[in-house]
Structure 1
Amino acid sequence: MISLKNLKIILTTFLLIVTLAFVEIATNSQIALADITTNPTTAAEIFSANCAGCHINGSNIIRRGKNLKQKALKKYGMDSIANISNLVTNGKGIMPAYKDRLSEQQIIDVSAYVLSQAENDWK
């Protein structure tokens, strides 16, 4: 039998995934990327404050192969806003979850920022 607490977690996760999938499909990533283009400071600041400690310039000081370079993102299936957002939201392995620290929009923005930086080789 599923407890009420577990049911809430499952429903919240499901709603987040559906929302992220809708954003990805509806915008075809262009609107989110356009937001980053028009307001890069916000996403860059979010990344700097929350991610750069381990992922400075797209690298990974903890596990070198799990970096944010385009090749690694593709290798690990993290080459979409939805997939990166899911990882940032829920964490995985030693990477913590940021769902309690960042808003859904901040997570989407920083995910789009990571993709755009990877495309430019973090220059």
Structure 2
Amino acid sequence: MKRILSVILLGLTIFTVAFSSPALAADSASGAKVFSANCASCHAGGKNLVNAAKSLKKEALEKYGMYSAEAIIAQVTKGKGAMPTFKGRLKPNDLENVTAYVLEQADKGWK
């Protein structure tokens, strides 16, 4: 009896983990608003008005090692070169959302 109960409990646990949705996924619609308010002046349409080679297009992000949420969040938080720091200006949730938006747009070709 104890063994049957353990098997049932294990099965329920596996089922729950396998079919549960991820917790708090980033919201690219909110990210679009953050992008518009903070990034679009230099990066409208995925471009880079300061250094055209380092755009937000997928190919450029991959070439410069920026095609990941971690890399984009680090760049936006710390800044680098002409890119100012947004540390303290954007909340962590805003950073995640704008990152999701940038990656989504890069995948779509910024259309």
TM-score range, shorter chain: 0.7 to 0.9
Q: Which structure has more helix as a fraction of its residues?
A: 1
State the one-letter code of the partner of 1:72.
Answer: A
1:62 to 46, 50, 63: 50
Corresponding residue for residue 92 of structure 1: 80
> What letter is aligned with 1:67?
S
Residue pairs, 1:4-83, within 5 angstroms: 31-32=25-26, 35-36=27-28, 40=29, 42-83=30-71
Shift of 1:108: 1.1
Give the corresponding residue for 1:9.
none
Report Cα offsets for 1:55-100 as digits up to 9, x if no partner.
0000011110010000000001111111100100100111001012
Listed as ranges, the gaps of 5+ residues in structure 1 are: 1-26
* TM-score, normalised with respect to structure 2: 0.76
- Structure 2, unaligned runs of 5 or more: 1-21
Q: Name the % identity.
A: 48
Deviations 1:18-73 (A, max 9, x none): xxxxxxxxx6xx933xx32xxx1x21110011000000000011110010000000
TM-align CA RMSD: 1.4
Any idea what SS the aligned residue of 2:25 has? helix
Corresponding residue pairs, total: 89
- Preserved contact between residue 50 and residue 82 of structure 2 (Cα < 8 Å): no
CA radius of gyration, larger in: 2
RCO (CA 8 Å, sep 6+): is it higher in 1 or 2? 2
